[in-house]
Amino acid sequence: MNRQRRLTLAVGSLLAVTACLSQPEQIEREIAASSAEVRAARRAYDGAPPVIPHDNLGTTCAECHDERGVNVPGLGYAPAQPHNETSGVGETARCRQCHVFAVTGAQFVGNSFVGVAQAPRSGARATDGAPPTMPHRLQMRENCVACHTGPAARTDIVSEHPERENCKQCHVEVAVTRSFVPPNTAGVE
């Protein structure tokens, strides 16, 4: 069974289970968990470029994964690509420089790597009612709508006001770290 089918099954069975439950909040949690699980399964760690979860369709990636996302009849929703502003990731870019197909589920030898887990956080608000800051870096994901809107967005991070377009007018990026640390401050054992 390939990775894509496994994922579909996993999501499907989760949905089936949650459908039996009566409390809406419970359902919401389950769906959020499953969408998060799908996202995590495609990445080596939170922040890694996802592997391509579908077969090679013989067209250019940007045909469907454009700036807004495309509903492809018979196939599903192709989310927008999140990094159209990144330097070097322009319209002449090579998506498959970072995103690869999985042609097998096998491993060469086992690997015990466990990457940092995704952990959605809320941004800080200066006052009650102030717009939250962005809780993550914008590097490689400047196009907010790619992840925060549309049918492919994780349910727990969907924006309620996608129509406002210019997200950065109200939400600022603070998750910037210094590029370099002074020497000998690392937590080396």
Output the 3-class SS for 70-110: EEECCCEEECCCCCCCCCCCCCCCCHHHCCCECCCCCCCCC
* Binding span for another protein by CB under 8 A among 6-14, 65-73, 142-150, 163-171: 163-171
The tokens describing 89, both together, are 């990731």
Nearer to another protein, 19 or 126 (CB): 126
Residue 54 interacting with another protein (CB under 8 A): no
- Rounded to 5°, the CA angle 153-130-80 comes to 20
Count Cα atoms within 13 angstroms, Cβ side, for 86.
Answer: 17
Stretch in the footprint of another protein (CB under 8 A) among 9-17, 32-40, 149-157, 175-183: 175-183
Among 140, 148, 152, 155, binds another protein (CB under 8 A): 140
Q: Which residues in the 10-29 window bind another protein by CB under 8 A?
A: none
Return the SS3 of 127: coil
Q: Can you tell me whether residue 170 is helix, strand or coil?
A: coil
Question: Minimum distance between the CB of residue 16 and another protein, rounded to whole angstroms?
Answer: 24
Which residue in 9, 15, 57, 175 binds another protein (CB under 8 A)?
A: 175
How far apart are the C-alpha atoms of 78 and 62, rounded to whole Å?
A: 10
Q: What minimum distance in Å lies between the beta carbon of 73 and another protein? A: 27
Please report whether residue 170 would count as binding another protein according to CB under 8 A.
yes
Which 76-115 positions form the footprint of another protein (CB under 8 A)? 86-94, 96-115
